[in-house]
């Protein structure tokens, strides 16, 4: 390996990231499915030719996808080795959640880039398809007890064999979807993204030579590992523990524990999840590869200046029990993986807050609230609306949490209501911030949201897969917890709530009836009594915080015109401090 000067390294790093970014943009512009086209629930990356490790990720795709795709590429490498190797022009497709996947909705395409007859690297694309069969339209089935109830499971198979397109594979996929046209459009968008990536990669290699780019990739990984070790070594040695809970698994209404014992040993970190709950009956299980990828995302939130590649995990050891909630095998259901990995990120945040409070942040809202509505239009055409929703982000040492943000597992955006209303027979009668939903603190947690949806078609079936209905997002460093999740559906006798609080199947609504979703905020950071009273008065004026909350949570009294009553506030805070 030859030495690379810093300027060349910086240029190649930018060029490689641009390739991944262009693949992202290509799919976002061409996908038929609003969850990819508008919400950007997809990702692309560049992966090692031998190990499958992440080399480069795009800035627009979902980080959780990029992390888990390393396992997916390795699955293709292993499968190909048993079948005579990988050929130029091959493209592999699959969605196996136990072999480098997440859940069945996320389809992966893997394409090798050949140079002089050898694989130089792999390009990979993953996108959330609108419907892949199963019991529930949109595929978030909170009552699933095995993966066969969640959709079709496709192991790694060739979509292209030596450059020849296999229509038979596409025919099988299309026959197992309620929305085959959407599937076809998304698939072709991913194919186009990979073809663009291959052209861009070959152009880069022609310009800078294979050896120079290969050396650059090795150096970027080494620097990420070095920076990660340096930042870990600055943390105090020892062990801290954190735990949080899922509401239930959709089958049994019992909480499920996710427990972390985080140990710092010099420049190494150990993430021990062995105290977590065993595998459950319902679909909040996840595979080991998904657990590792979620921790990668959490660590990148905390150590944001470390380059995003496999080097991040070199100094990190994972301890995860087999057949636990965090490491299941087929056919255990895994469709609600998003809820579990959000809780994983929360416990990492909570643990790090104990040893590095200035680096940590409070828990975000912690659920995507996957909502499906499905029915038939007057002409008999099938429609399936699937969407996810936002909430508040956790506060941190630098300020308040973000109001109504997207989940911290991704850069996916919340689908715009105008797009949803244009595509489906629904009307949003409310889309607003939720007052008092952010956790109190010196820095306030971000606010959740209130969504109210009216059905405009004759009838629809309703499915919700959510969390945080019982266990609120936690604050850190003395900050308070946020509001919990709340879902209601209208029936003839008025609004009702699900028995499982955050999950529901088997509910039907008719024209004019509504659904109401109130999402959690983010946890607070620091003692609420240390928050600047003028900031609280501003929060009240904006409707973020109620006057009662200002008094009870922050110890701030306001006058009739909304100004801070300095004397009453000082007296209230000093009295409380003395108690």
| Separation between Cα atoms, residue 565 and residue 569, nearest integer Å | 6
H or E element, residue 489 = strand 486-491
Q: What are the φ/ψ torsions at residue 182 (nearest 5 degrees)? A: -60, -45
The string of pLDDT tens digits covering residues 415-471 is: 889 999 999 999 999 999 999 999 999 999 999 999 999 999 999 999 999 999 999
* Position 302 confidence tier, pLDDT thresholds 50, 70, 90: confident
| Separation between Cα atoms, residue 119 and residue 132, nearest integer Å | 31
Quote the pLDDT of residue 401.
97
User: Would you tell me how many other CB atoms lie within 10 Å of the CB of residue 196?
Assistant: 18
| Separation between Cα atoms, residue 149 and residue 489, nearest integer Å | 24
* Helical spans, DSSP H, in 306-463: 337-355, 417-423
| Separation between Cα atoms, residue 251 and residue 229, nearest integer Å | 42
* Maximum pairwise Cα distance, the chain: 80
Tell me the pLDDT of the chain averaged across its residues: 94
Q: Could you tell me which residues come within 8 angstroms of residue 168 by beta carbon, excluding any fewer than 6 positions away? A: none
- The DSSP letter of residue 335 is T
Task: Tell me the mean pLDDT in the region 507-511.
Answer: 97
Quote the pLDDT of residue 100.
84
- The DSSP letter of residue 147 is G
* pTM for this entry: 0.93
């Amino acid at each position: 390996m030859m030495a690379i000067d810093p300027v060349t390294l910086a240029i190649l790093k930018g060029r490689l990231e641009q390739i991944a970014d262009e693949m992202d943009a290509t799919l976002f512009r061409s996908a038929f499915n609003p969850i990819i086209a508008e919400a950007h629930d997809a990702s692309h990356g560049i992966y090692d030719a031998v190990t499958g490790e992440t080399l480069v990720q795009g800035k627009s795709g979902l980080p959780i996808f990029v992390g888990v795709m390393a396992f997916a590429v390795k699955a293709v490498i292993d499968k190909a080795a048993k079948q005579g190797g990988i050929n130029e022009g091959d493209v592999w497709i699959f969605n196996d959640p136990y072999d480098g996947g997440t859940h069945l909705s996320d389809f992966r395409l893997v394409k090798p880039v050949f140079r002089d007859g050898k694989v130089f690297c792999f390009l990979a694309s993953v996108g959330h398809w609108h419907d892949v069969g199963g019991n529930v339209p949109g595929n978030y089935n909170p009552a699933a007890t095995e993966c066969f109830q969640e959709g079709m499971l496709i192991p790694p198979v060739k979509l292209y064999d030596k450059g020849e397109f296999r229509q038979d594979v596409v025919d099988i996929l299309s026959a197992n979807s309620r929305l085959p046209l959407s599937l076809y459009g998304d698939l072709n968008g991913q194919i186009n993204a990979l073809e663009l990536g291959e052209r861009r990669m070959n152009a880069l290699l022609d310009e800078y030579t294979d050896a120079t780019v290969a050396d650059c990739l090795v150096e970027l990984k080494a620097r990420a590992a070095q920076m990660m070790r340096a930042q870990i070594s600055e943390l105090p040695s020892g062990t801290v523990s954190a735990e949080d809970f899922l509401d239930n698994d959709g089958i049994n209404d019992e909480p499920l524990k996710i427990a972390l014992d985080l140990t710092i040993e010099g420049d190494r970190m150990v993430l021990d999840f062995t105290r977590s709950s065993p595998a459950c009956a319902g679909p909040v299980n996840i595979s080991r590869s998904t657990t590792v990828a979620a921790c990668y995302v959490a660590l990148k939130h905390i150590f944001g200046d470390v380059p995003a590649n496999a080097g991040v995990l070199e100094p990190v050891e994972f301890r995860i029990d087999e057949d636990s909630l965090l490491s299941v095998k087929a056919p255990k259901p895994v469709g609600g993986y998003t809820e579990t990995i959000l809780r994983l990120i929360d416990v990492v945040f909570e643990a790090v807050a104990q040893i590095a409070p200035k680096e940590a942040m409070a828990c975000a809202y912690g659920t995507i609230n996957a909502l499906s509505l499905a029915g038939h239009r007057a002409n008999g055409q099938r429609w399936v609306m699937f969407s996810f929703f936002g909430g508040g982000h956790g506060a941190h040492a630098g300020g308040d949490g973000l109001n109504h943000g997207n989940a911290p597992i991704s850069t996916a955006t919340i689908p715009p209501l105008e797009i949803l209303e244009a595509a489906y027979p629904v009307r949003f009668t409310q889309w607003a911030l939720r007052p008092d939903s952010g956790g109190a603190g010196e820095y306030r947690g971000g606010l959740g949201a209130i969504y109210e949806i009216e059905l405009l078609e004759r009838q629809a079936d309703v499915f919700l897969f959510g969390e945080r209905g019982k266990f609120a997002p936690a604050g850190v460093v003395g900050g308070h917890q946020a509001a919990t999740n709340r879902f209601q559906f209208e029936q003839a006798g008025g609004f009702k709530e699900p028995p499982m609080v955050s999950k529901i199947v088997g509910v039907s609504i008719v024209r004019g009836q509504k659904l109401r979703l109130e999402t959690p905020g983010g946890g607070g950071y620091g003692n609420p009594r240390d928050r600047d009273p003028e900031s609280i008065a501003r929060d009240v004026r904006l409707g973020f915080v109620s006057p009662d909350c200002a008094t009870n949570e922050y110890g701030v009294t306001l006058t009739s015109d909304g100004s801070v009553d300095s004397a009453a506030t000082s007296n209230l805070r000093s009295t409380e401090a003395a108690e």
